Chain A
Amino acid sequence: MPAFKDLFKGKQKYVTVKPTSIQTEQPDGLWSKCTRCGQLTYTRELAHNLLVCHKCGFHFKLSAAQRLAITLDEGSFVEFDSGLVSADPIEFPGYAAKLERTRQATGLEEAVVTGQGTIGGYPVMIGVMDFSFIGASMGSVVGEKVARLFERATRQRVPVVMFCASGGARMQEGVLSLMQMAKTSAACARLSEAGVLYVSVLTNPTTAGVLASFASLGDIIIAEPGALIGFTGQRVIEETIRQKLPPGFQSAEFVLEHGMIDMIVERRDMKKTLASLLALHERRHEAG
């Protein structure tokens, strides 16, 4: 296996990013501005730093495709259930149109991509949530794809790595979206009983219904630095307690300190950390 950093060498061939889709101050999209520190960086350089600000270490959000590309071994990804698409079960105003718009804008069918691949040669079942798809909210399709992934992993006894990100349950599917919390958590329970490793990676932001279900049920829970991790939205808490929340509240560092996660891992170290964990959980010859 090549050294991890080598995976990012010599890949300056071409850029498929549409300039208009990049949040920058520059109209041509050559430059990106850091949300946290305001630093302007040449977009290509930022990308080669895995979309982590050189100056302050801020971890930009990644698309599902980007996350898979930097996590899995090259060419190893096989997608599952890509044909599952959301219906409009309670005929929620504007939902059908919103779905269509989002599909067009993101090129994604839904807020989670699931499949299998290898990390450092170790087979994994992998799920990646993409915040650009309606805030990676969990509706019927997200719940179904995640549950199917856990079930597949249970049957095949292959570890699961889930990159979580979500604004919560998808309100537009009413109570059906709420119940996906139960569906996915129950599927986690079965994976756990089968003795198969589940690593949950909390990325910015992992909140509400997703945090209160499969995201929190990993045997090992990792977070990216600075990720927002919390059950209740900060505005709601501030309205309840009628006080401003301190800076850093619900950050990855905050939840680590409070014992809710195992570790914080920087993006550039994520793949090798996952590979090490997978190696340590490799199934020995099961004698008897």
Chain B
Amino acid sequence: MINLTLDFEKPLVELEKRIEELRDFSREKDIDLSEEIATLEKKAEMLRREIFDNLTPWQRVQIARHPRRPTTLDYISLIFDEFIELHGDRAFRDDGAIVGGIASLGGRPVTVVGTQKGRDTKENLARNFGMPHPEGYRKALRLMKQAEKFHRPVVSFVDVVGAYPGVEAEERGQGQIIARNIEEISRLATCIVVVITGEGGSGGALAIGVGDRLLMLENAYFSVISPEGCAAILWKDGSRAQEAADVLKLTAPDMKRLGIVDEVLPEPLGAAHKDREGMARIIKDALIRSIDELSGIPPRRLVERRYARLRRIGEFTVREAAQEEFAEAASAGGDVLRAAGPAGPKGEANR
């Protein structure tokens, strides 16, 4: 049984239950309780606002992972007039954790790709909980190259906890395919709009997450490592994920502030899963707007802009180069001992 109520929603859910009970009671006994119900509904509305206006990063992560959160295929069916799904990477197999195809966005043909989580246990097994293998990423790249060939914009939906961490994924080059995808997508000569709809899990998200316009849902997250993984490294305690979510700066507003995403798309009150149609409308509007703007730019210029966009990400300081000692050691010419410097042959202290 999947728990659909998040901890911080409990007071709200209990209140909603009480309202429901009063309604039933009023109906059964034919007693007018409309005043009491209205008061409680007002209270519920206030509580809902209070909760969702003050979400902590960890609460957002939980919302992003909510089992009822709309998936890529849900959005595809709500946003596009038509969708023809295409399958396979032409090399190994069809990975269900990545979906893609050709769609019509308000009459304009576009290529759509995205990670796909299952909506129940059975689906999740088929889709590997939305965690792609290398062939999934290869399929996404194939479809993007096809979009380039036919001058179609690309829409990429990202909702993935991470690339699948398995033996076969390693054997088939998970790291290599992610690198290849990023390299190829960085120079794809057609416009790309990325929508981070739920989880933006590290390299597994970035492999289909490079584009000209990045949109991010209000309660989605994007991070170099999962909060659990960060907590395990930092405090040797994966259960401190809540604190890790705070320090990682992984929310949509953080991404906007850091210059990673262009636009944060507001979610309906109570988050995307409470109003799928409403959420889809907001995404659709933003997609149409973005593609209208981008499709006027010549492909070569788009690629230049995309490079410039990636190129400026990062923060560092520049100080006077004071490394003469290092240069001397490095130029020693083939002598490991003389070049050892202060670090020395450390052996394998870090393994």
Contact = CB atoms under 8 A, between A and B. Distances in A.
A231 B326 contact: no
Contacts of B187: 186, 189-190, 193
B315 A240 contact: no
Contact of A169 (B169, B179, B224, B313): B224
A186 B333 contact: no
Given A11-B335, A72-B331, A22 B345 contact: yes
Contacts of B249: 90, 174-175
Interface in B9-54: none
A106 interface: yes
Interface string B211-254: 00000000000111100011001100000000000011110001
Interface string A168-200: 011101111111111101111110110000000
Contacts of A245: 167
A216 B180 contact: yes
B251 to A, nearest CB: 10
Interface stretch (A129-137, A155-163, A274-282): A129-137
A230 B168 CA distance: 12
Interface residues of B, number: 82
Interface size class of A (residues with CB under 8 A): 35 or more
A30 to B, nearest CB: 12
Contact of A85 (B167, B184, B260, B316): B316
A78 B339 CA distance: 15
A2 to B, nearest CB: 10
Nearest to B230: A171
A134 B209 CA distance: 27
A231 B175 contact: yes
Contacts of A237: 165-167, 170
A153 to B, nearest CB: 15
A141 interface: yes
B124 interface: no
A230 B334 CA distance: 30
Contact of B316 (A24, A87, A174): A87
A79 B336 CA distance: 19
Contact of B321 (A50, A83, A193): A83
B91 to A, nearest CB: 12
A83 B324 CA distance: 12
B341 interface: yes
A35 B319 contact: no
B351 A216 contact: no
B176 interface: yes
A209 interface: yes
A84 B315 CA distance: 10
A260 interface: yes
Contact of B346 (A22, A76, A209): A22
A142 B334 CA distance: 25
Most buried by B among A130, A182, A245: A182
Contacts of B342: 18, 21, 105-107
Most buried by B among A7, A77, A170, A174: A174
B206 A181 contact: yes
A107 B325 contact: yes
Interface in A226-277: 230-232, 236-237, 240-241, 245, 249-250, 258-260
B338 A14 contact: yes
Interface in A117-133: 130-132
B330 A69 contact: yes
B7 interface: no
Interface string A39-59: 000011011101100000000
Contacts of A139: 314
Given A35-B347, A84-B318, A245-B167, A47 B332 contact: no
Nearest to B178: A212
Contacts of B186: 182, 185-186, 189
A223 interface: no
A8 B179 contact: no
A46 B330 contact: no
Contacts of A14: 337-338
Most buried by A among B222, B307, B332, B344: B344
Contact of A177 (B210, B224, B254, B338): B224
B278 interface: no
A181 to B, nearest CB: 6
A61 B346 contact: yes
B258 interface: yes
Given A74-B333, A180-B314, A66 B339 contact: yes
6 contacts: A24-B347, A63-B343, A144-B316, A173-B315, A178-B206, A232-B174
Given A51-B345, A90-B247, A182-B186, 11 more contacts: A18-B342, A21-B346, A43-B345, A65-B329, A65-B332, A69-B333, A140-B314, A186-B310, A205-B351, A208-B203, A232-B165
Interface of B: 163, 165-167, 169-176, 178-180, 182-184, 186-187, 202-203, 206-207, 210, 222-225, 229-230, 233-234, 247-250, 254-255, 258, 260, 306-307, 310-311, 313-323, 325-327, 329-351
- Top 5 closest A-B pairs, CB basis? A74-B333, A23-B347, A140-B314, A69-B339, A231-B175
